Amino acid sequence: MKEKLLYLDQNIWIKLGRIHYGIDKDKDLKQTLNLIQDLIKKQKLIVPLSHSNFIETTKRQDKVSRERLAKFMVLLSNGYSFSPYVFLTSVEVENLVRKKIGKTEIDIYDYALGVGLPYLLGEEPRPRITTDKIPADEKLKLEKLMRDKLYTKEIVEHMLLNYTTDLQKDKDIFDEMISGIESEKDKESEIKDKTLRRRFRTARYLIQMFTPKLAEMCLKYKTHPQKIIPKKPDYDQIMKVFEEMPLIYTNFCLIQGQRMNPSRPIVVNDLFDIAGLSFAIPYMDFVVGEKFFLAIAKRDKLDQKYNIELFTQSELIKLKGYLDKI
């Protein structure tokens, strides 16, 4: 990427939006926002939206505040967004397999970052119609129509303004997810030995998040899983494999850090924060995020590993000093 990438937590989008519309007054934040906008105009900086931003914005019930925030988001992002981390984990696992069998890796940015709805929701970066029942020239016309309609900032704004969701259904889904995570934490707490507990967490993550995708990719490339990871890997072997996949490794670290704090209850925003930061930390240049998760990232030295600058909401002014150097 020639442009630098800046990730903003939902709270920061809201904060800067209020500065943009003059609702709040803060000279330093106004200067920071002006600098961000200037760098965007000069094509030196991209501030993409995340799927979590989309979900949180479309949950807003106040039409005026939703419209105001949505328009500011599209103004600053220019319609750019990055795909949900769940979609991108498949790309990373595929790259791991490709690397092990000597094939060129996929550029994850082609899948992860761009303008339009497919990036926001997590789809193939290029629209394709695969049926053979449509003549080739008609398929080309339809694919162009898809590009013209779906790969624009206008469709991103339309969705932010008009997408509706069943709030109670969403709440029930998230409540069930959190209940499941809390149940897993309770089971982990029964393991008194810290080393065994850490290995238990790691094995479960391997089974839930990695193994199914590895099996899929090994089938695709007709290779044996043991060429990628040993049959009965120990902890160090698992971590070595994880570290070859930056997004998956970051996701693993954030989840483990969250669960190592038994006194802190898990909330819905944690799920959104982990989802956004899992891609932002290893693949962007600047992150302004939630203090708790940035502390985990720094503890695990992810900022040093991926050469990323991390800022909390209270450090927004500090960000300006770094952006001045672009």
Q: What is the dihedral of CA 108, 247, 290, 76, to 10 degrees?
A: 0
Spatial neighbors of 311 by CB under 8 A, at least 6 apart, are: 286, 287, 288, 289, 294, 318, 319
Q: Is 132 exposed, middle or buried (0-12, 13-18, 19+ CB in 10 A)?
A: exposed
Domain spans in the chain, listed from the N-terminal domain onward: 4-323
pLDDT by residue (tens digit) across 144-179? 787 778 889 999 999 999 988 777 787 777 778 788
pLDDT by residue (tens digit) across 266-308? 888 888 999 999 999 999 999 999 999 999 999 999 999 999 9
- Separation CA 293–CA 107 (nearest Å): 27
Query: What tokens does 119 get?
Result: 């990036």
Query: What tokens does 271 get?
Result: 């799920």
What average pLDDT does range 29-40 have in this prediction?
96
- Planar angle of CA 78, 280, 152, nearest 5 degrees: 25
Q: Quick one: pLDDT at residue 296?
A: 96
- Separation CA 23–CA 1 (nearest Å): 34
Place of tokens 């949950």: 59
Q: Quick one: pLDDT at residue 124?
A: 66
pLDDT by residue (tens digit) across 203-220? 889 988 899 999 999 999
Assign 106 to helix, strand or coil: coil
Can you give the pTM of this predicted structure?
Answer: 0.90
**In the predicted structure, residue 196 carries a pLDDT above the cut 90:** no
